[in-house]
C-alpha cells in the first residue's frame, strides 16, 4: 500500500480553473494537481472561441456584458455574481498575459497593436479575446508551462479521484487511483478544490473530450453537497457531422463572422426562429437545427462561410480549416455539415461567490460548479472567464484562511473484499446503453414520458453498477461509469421537477415559460 501523501491543497482537475488556482496559491501553499489522463486532456485545451472580457473601464461596456449574460440566462442568473464575474474580466486577462499567454492582435487606426475581439452568439458587441481559433490550447499550454516550473506544485497525471474523505463536515483529502500503477493512494489535504469540468459524456454525441464524465459533481454529491440546475445541459449548435470527426466543434465565432446556417438546398432558416438569426443564444439555435433536421428527415444542416475570402477564413479559423480539410471539406469553397451535440453543463455543485461548497475546506470552480453566472443557458465564452474569476476568488479565500496541519493519518484504502473482474463487458455495455437513452430521452427536446422512461432504465443500471463496484477491483472506466449514473440521475430528476420550458430545458408537455418557477432546481443528498 502506497504511503500517504500530504499537501496543503489538492486540486482535482488540470484545466483552466484548476491550474489557475494552483498557480495563485503556490507561493504560500504546497499544491498537488491531479489529472485523470494527460494534463492537456480537458475541455479547456479544446476550447476554440475565446474569453469574454471587458477590457476598458467604461460602465456602459460592463453593463452591456452583464445585460447580455442575464438575457442569455433566461431569468435564472444571480445578478450579483454576474456583475462580480464581469468586473473581474480585465484582471483575468492580465493574469493570463503574466503567465505568458499570447492573444490575437490587430493594428488599430492609430497604427498600434491592439487585441482583436470576436463577437459570438448572445453578445451585443465584440468582446471575445482569443488566440486565433485555438484559445484553450494556448491558455492550457501557458498555465502548464508555469505550473511545471513551480517548486510548490506537484502535477500527477493519470490519477483519478475515487472519493473524497470527509469527517465532521470537513474535507480531509481524497482516495485517488493511480491508473498506471493500479494502486489507490491516500492524499491528505485540508483544502480540496474540484475543477473536473462538466458531465457531457453522459450523452452519446458530445463536443467534449473523453474526460467529461461528471466526476466532480458525483464526488461532491456522494460527500453530501447540494447540486443545482442539472436540467440545463447546453447543446452546442454546430458540431462537425462526420463519422471520423464527430466530437469536433465548429466555433461560435464562425457564425459571429457571418457564417449562415442552411438546409441541403441552400435555404437559410434561422430568421424564422429568432430575429438575431445565427447570433441568437445557443439554446435557440440548437433547437432550430434539431427541428429542421427532424422536419425534413435529414442527417444534418450546413454552416456556410465560403462567401468570405479564403485569406480571411484561413487567418481567422486556421484550426477549423485544417481539421475540415482532413475530411475533404474545404470551408473556403463549401459549407460544413453540422449537428448539435452536448457541450456544457450549466448546473453543478452549488457554491458561493468564493467557490465554497457545503463542506468546509471543499471548493468547486469552473464547469463543475453552479455559481449563478450562467442561469438557464450559458452565453458563449463566459466559461473560461468563470474559470479564471473563481480561481481568483477561491485563492483569495484560501489564502486568507488559517493554514491547517496537513499531517493527519487517514485510513488506507481497503480492497481486501474485492477480486479481479472477468466481466469487463458489463462496463462497456452499460456505458453505451446509458449514453444512448440519455440522448434519446433526455436530449434537446424532452417530454415527461421520455424522462420517466429514462428514469426507469437508469434504476436498473444503478443497481448493476453498484453491485459491480462493491465486488471488483476498480479501474478508470468503472469510476467514470459510477459517476455518470449519478449525473444522469441528477439530470433526470431536475428535468422532471421543472414544469416549464426555460433556457436549455425544453419540454413538449410544458412548452411555455412559467415565471412562478423562476427559481433554481436544488437537489440535496439524503445524508445532508
Which spans in 317-381 are helix H? 318-326
The pLDDT value recorded for residue 523 is 98
Strands 336-345 and 348-350: unpaired
In residues, how long is the chain? 528
User: How many angstroms separate the CA atoms of 471 and 459, rounded?
Assistant: 19
Reply yes or no on whether 287 is catalytic.
no
Q: What angle do the packed helices 382-400 and 16-25 form, to 10 degrees?
A: 30
The pLDDT value recorded for residue 146 is 98
Q: Taken in order 504, 505, 509, 513, is the CA torsion positive or negative?
A: negative
Q: Which of 75, 57, 68 is nearest to 121 (CA)?
A: 68
Half-sphere exposure of residue 449: CA atoms within 13 angstroms, side-chain side? 2
The pLDDT value recorded for residue 408 is 85
372: left (phi over 0), alpha (psi -120 to 50) or beta: left
Alpha-carbon distances of 283 from 83, 235, 241, 501, rounded to whole Å: 23, 7, 19, 11
User: How many angstroms separate the CA atoms of 232 and 215, rounded?
Assistant: 18
Residue 376, all three cell numbers: 438557464
The pLDDT value recorded for residue 317 is 95
Residue of 29, 127, 282, 498 marked catalytic: 282
Q: Element (H or E) spanning 493, and its range?
A: helix 476-497
Q: Dihedrals φ, ψ of 418, to 5°?
A: -115, 170
Q: Dihedrals φ, ψ of 83, to 5°?
A: -65, -45
Q: Does domain 5-157+346-400 have CATH number 1.10.3720.10?
A: no
Number of helices (H) and strands (E) in the chain: give both, helices first: 15, 22
Map out the domains of the chain as residue ranges: 5-157+346-400, 237-341, 425-514
Which spans in 112-270 are helix H? 135-149, 215-223, 252-256
CB of 438 closer than 8 Å to CB of 488: yes
Topology, domain 237-341: Flavocytochrome C3; Chain A, domain 1 (3.90.700)
Q: Which of 183, 188, 197 is nearest to 166 (CA)?
A: 188
Residues of the chain with pLDDT under 70: 246, 406, 527-528
- pLDDT tens readout for residues 423-457: 778 899 999 999 999 998 999 999 999 999 999 99
DSSP at 472: B
Alpha-carbon distances of 80 from 64, 87, 519, 522, rounded to whole Å: 15, 11, 15, 19
Q: Which CATH class is domain 425-514?
A: mainly alpha
Strands 369-370 and 348-350: parallel
User: How many angstroms separate the CA atoms of 344 and 492, rounded?
Assistant: 16
The pLDDT value recorded for residue 406 is 66
Q: Which of 6, 7, 13 is nearest to 34 (CA)?
A: 13
DSSP 188-220: E-SEEEE-----GGGSSSBSS-TT-S-HHHHHH
Q: Dihedrals φ, ψ of 153, to 5°?
A: -115, 125
Amino acid at each position: 500500500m502506497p504511503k500517504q501523501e500530504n499537501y496543503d491543497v489538492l486540486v482535482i482537475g488540470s484545466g483552466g480553473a484548476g491550474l489557475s488556482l494552483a498557480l495563485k496559491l503556490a507561493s504560500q501553499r504546497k499544491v498537488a494537481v491531479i489529472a485523470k489522463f494527460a494534463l492537456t486532456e480537458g475541455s479547456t485545451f479544446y476550447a476554440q472561441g475565446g474569453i469574454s472580457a471587458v477590457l476598458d473601464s467604461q460602465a456602459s461596456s460592463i453593463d452591456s456584458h452583464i445585460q447580455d449574460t442575464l438575457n442569455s440566462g433566461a431569468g435564472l442568473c444571480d445578478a450579483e455574481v454576474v456583475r462580480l464575474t464581469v468586473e473581474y474580466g480585465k484582471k483575468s486577462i492580465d493574469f493570463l498575459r503574466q503567465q505568458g499567454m499570447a492573444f490575437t492582435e490587430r493594428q488599430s487606426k492609430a497604427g498600434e497593436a491592439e487585441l482583436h475581439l470576436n463577437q459570438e452568439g448572445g453578445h451585443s458587441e465584440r468582446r471575445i479575446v482569443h488566440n486565433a481559433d485555438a484559445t484553450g490550447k494556448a491558455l492550457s499550454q501557458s498555465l502548464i508551462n508555469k505550473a511545471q516550473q513551480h517548486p510548490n506544485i506537484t502535477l500527477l497525471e493519470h490519477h483519478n479521484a475515487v472519493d473524497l474523505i470527509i469527517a465532521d463536515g470537513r474535507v480531509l483529502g481524497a482516495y485517488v487511483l493511480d491508473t498506471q500503477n493500479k494502486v489507490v493512494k491516500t492524499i491528505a489535504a485540508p483544502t480540496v478544490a474540484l475543477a473536473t469540468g462538466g458531465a457531457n459524456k453522459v450523452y452519446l454525441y458530445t463536443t467534449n473530450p473523453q474526460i467529461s464524465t461528471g466526476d466532480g459533481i458525483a464526488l461532491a454529491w456522494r460527500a453530501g453537497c447540494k447540486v443545482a440546475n442539472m436540467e440545463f445541459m447546453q447543446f452546442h449548435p454546430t458540431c462537425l457531422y462526420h463519422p471520423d470527426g464527430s466530437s469536433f466543434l465548429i466555433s461560435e465565432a464562425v457564425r459571429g463572422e457571418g457564417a449562415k446556417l442552411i438546409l441541403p438546398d441552400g435555404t437559410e432558416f434561422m430568421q424564422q426562429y429568432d430575429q438575431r438569426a445565427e447570433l441568437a443564444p445557443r439554446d435557440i439555435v440548437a433547437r432550430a437545427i434539431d427541428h429542421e433536421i427532424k422536419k425534413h428527415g435529414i442527417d444534418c444542416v450546413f454552416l456556410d462561410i465560403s462567401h468570405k475570402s479564403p485569406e480571411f477564413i484561413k487567418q481567422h479559423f486556421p484550426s477549423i480549416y485544417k481539421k475540415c480539410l482532413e475530411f475533404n471539406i474545404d470551408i473556403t469553397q463549401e459549407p460544413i455539415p453540422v449537428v448539435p451535440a452536448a457541450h456544457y453543463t450549466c448546473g453543478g455543485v452549488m457554491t458561493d461567490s468564493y467557490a465554497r461548497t457545503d463542506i468546509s475546506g471543499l471548493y468547486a470552480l469552473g464547469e463543475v460548479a453552479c455559481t449563478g453566472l450562467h442561469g438557464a443557458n450559458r452565453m458563449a465564452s463566459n466559461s473560461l472567464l468563470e474559470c479564471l474569476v473563481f480561481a481568483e476568488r477561491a485563492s483569495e479565500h484560501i489564502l486568507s484562511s488559517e493554514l491547517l496541519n496537513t499531517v493527519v493519518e487517514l485510513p488506507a484504502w481497503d480492497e481486501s473484499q474485492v477480486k479481479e473482474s472477468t466481466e469487463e463487458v458489463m462496463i462497456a455495455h452499460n456505458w453505451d446503453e446509458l449514453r444512448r437513452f440519455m440522448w434519446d430521452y433526455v436530449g434537446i427536446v424532452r417530454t415527461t414520458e421520455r424522462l420517466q422512461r429514462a428514469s426507469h432504465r437508469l434504476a436498473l443500471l444503478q443497481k448493476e453498477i453498484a453491485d459491480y463496484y462493491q465486488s471488483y477491483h476498480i479501474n478508470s472506466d468503472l469510476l467514470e461509469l459510477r459517476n455518470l449514473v449519478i449525473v444522469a440521475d441528477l439530470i433526470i430528476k431536475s428535468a422532471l421537477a421543472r414544469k416549464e420550458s426555460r433556457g436549455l430545458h425544453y419540454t413538449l408537455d410544458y412548452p411555455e415559460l412559467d415565471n412562478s418557477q423562476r427559481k433554481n432546481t436544488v437537489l440535496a443528498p439524503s445524508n445532508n
